Structure 1
Amino acid sequence: MPLHSLQRLSPTAVLGLWHLTETPAELWPLLPQASTYQTLLPATADARRQAQWLSGRVLIHRLLSEAELAFPAEIQVRNDATGRPWLVGAGLGDTVSLSHSGQWVAAVLARGGRAGVDVEEIRDKAQRLASKFLAPGEWAAAQAAHSPGAADASAHYTLLWSAKETLYKLAAQRGIIFKTQLLLGEFEWREAGEIPATLVLSGAETRHCICYSQPSPGYVLTYCHEPIP
């Protein structure tokens, strides 16, 4: 389907969502410079992964053309050595963050500053792995928020994982330990809201705000954009 939504986060950044229903064959004609992207498509990707990969780049190009942020006309989306997307042909400091899960693809496109976005299909995996990525206080707070076996517990833990993924992308560094360097503060669990967060790098702490919502039942979305001061 076409671009699902475009949300202005600031004068220099937009958040876009794509509801993925297309096959790879349907996505290729929507992608500028398709011949170039054919050489970049991961050779081992199955049809589902191909569709997610392609729709992410279709979404970014749609944002480039519709977001009115004055990007150069000829831009390609590539991945660096860590797997993060970057914009070939864009200005110094221009940034993009991309995520896909199930039927949703999300991207934040910004002219300067830092950005992170993550979309996750709600599963019980995050709850099972909570002790590995949540600090003791975060885990205790999550456990206190739900009675044993509560139906919305999986959504809560998936949200916590997603928020840390967004904070990790905002940091743009490898080797970060989710449990000790990506910390989430207290918040009221709702369908949409904000989560205070702390990033611990090189002994210094910085404060951030992670926004969250549910693009559709069964999914959570988190994102953050911080313009240049």
Structure 2
Amino acid sequence: MPLHSLQHLSPTAVLGLWQLTETPAELWAQLPQAAAYQALMPATADASRQAQWLAGRALAHTLLQELTAATAADMVVHNDATGRPWLAGPTHNLTLSLSHSGEWVAAVLAAGGRAGVDVEIIRDKAQRLASKFLSTLEWDDAAAAALTAPEAANTHYTRLWSAKETLYKLAAQRGIIFKKQLLLSSFVPEESGEIPATLVLDCAETRHCICYCQPAPGYVLTYCHESFS
């Protein structure tokens, strides 16, 4: 099952989920501009990483047709020096964010503004590394949530990590310190909801809202789109 769902976040932004079941060969057959993508494929990617990489590009082209009705063959997804994806071609000021983990690939495509998306397998890694990316207040909130619902601790810590990854992509800037510049306010953990967030850049603070859900058992998804005012 390739394309899983499309969700319009606004008239100018769409979120897509792809459940990865195809082989790299099957995904190559779905991509326009195959020669261009063959030149861009990371040389060290194994078969699993190739499939995730290709599915991300296939999903980006699907969102492109959904949002703009543009000819997919006119666009090619590149990555800049920071690893962020961007569309080469007549992009109409399009912003693209991509993420993949396990068998899931997620993307947000927006006409104007900025966007971030992250999908993660739920595991204990985020809890083990929490001191490296959570502020003191976030640490206290997470510990309290884990005491209240210990069976959901891995999900909650993975959700926090994912939310910060989405906020990081929204910032579009390297060298960010996650525990000092990407801040999450207190919220009541549920299966889906919103996390108030603050981005601290160049001594200025901006407020944001990170949406979260579980697209499938064992996974967490976070995303955000904001139009420029």
Interval of TM-score (by shorter of Structure 1 and Structure 2): over 0.9
* Aligned position for 1:208: 208
* Aligned position for 1:69: 68
Shift of 1:3: 1.1
Shift of 1:92: 6.0
Deviation track 1:118-159 (CA, whole Å, cap 9, x = no partner) reads: 000001000000000000000100001122992210110000
Matched, 1:98 2:98: yes
Instruction: Count the aligned residue pairs.
Output: 228
* Aligned position for 2:159: 159
Q: Distance in 1 between matches of 2:149 and 2:222?
A: 24
Matched, 1:124 2:124: yes
State whether residues 112 and 227 of structure 1, in contact with CA within 8 Å, keep that contact through their aligned partners in structure 2: yes
State whether residues 19 and 104 of structure 1, in contact with CA within 8 Å, keep that contact through their aligned partners in structure 2: yes
Deviation track 1:141-200 (CA, whole Å, cap 9, x = no partner) reads: 000112299221011000000000000000000001000000000111000000000000
Q: How does 1:24-63 map to 2 (within 5 A)?
A: 24-63=24-63
Q: How does 1:99-114 map to 2 (within 5 A)?
A: 99-114=99-114
In 2 relative to 1, CA 14–200 (structure 1 residues): closer, same or farther, beyond 3 Å? same
Percent of aligned pairs with the same amino acid: 72
State whether residues 72 and 89 of structure 1, in contact with CA within 8 Å, keep that contact through their aligned partners in structure 2: no
Secondary structure at the aligned position of 2:151 is classed as coil
Shift of 1:90: 3.6
* Aligned position for 1:142: 142
Secondary structure at the aligned position of 1:31 is classed as coil
Q: Distance in 2 between matches of 1:183 and 1:155?
A: 19
* CA RMSD between the two structures: 1.4
Matched residue type, 2:143: Q
Q: Distance in 2 between matches of 1:3 and 1:109?
A: 15
TM-score by length of 2: 0.96
- 5+ residue gaps, structure 2, are none
TM-score by length of 1: 0.96
- 5+ residue gaps, structure 1, are none
Runs of 4+ deviating beyond 3 Å: 70-73, 90-93
Shift of 1:72: 5.6
State whether residues 72 and 90 of structure 1, in contact with CA within 8 Å, keep that contact through their aligned partners in structure 2: no
Q: Distance in 2 between matches of 1:86 and 1:53?
A: 14
State whether residues 13 and 67 of structure 2, in contact with CA within 8 Å, keep that contact through their aligned partners in structure 1: no
Q: Distance in 2 between matches of 1:93 and 1:208?
A: 22
Q: Distance in 2 between matches of 1:152 and 1:84?
A: 31
State whether residues 195 and 209 of structure 2, in contact with CA within 8 Å, keep that contact through their aligned partners in structure 1: yes
Q: Distance in 2 between matches of 1:202 and 1:144?
A: 32
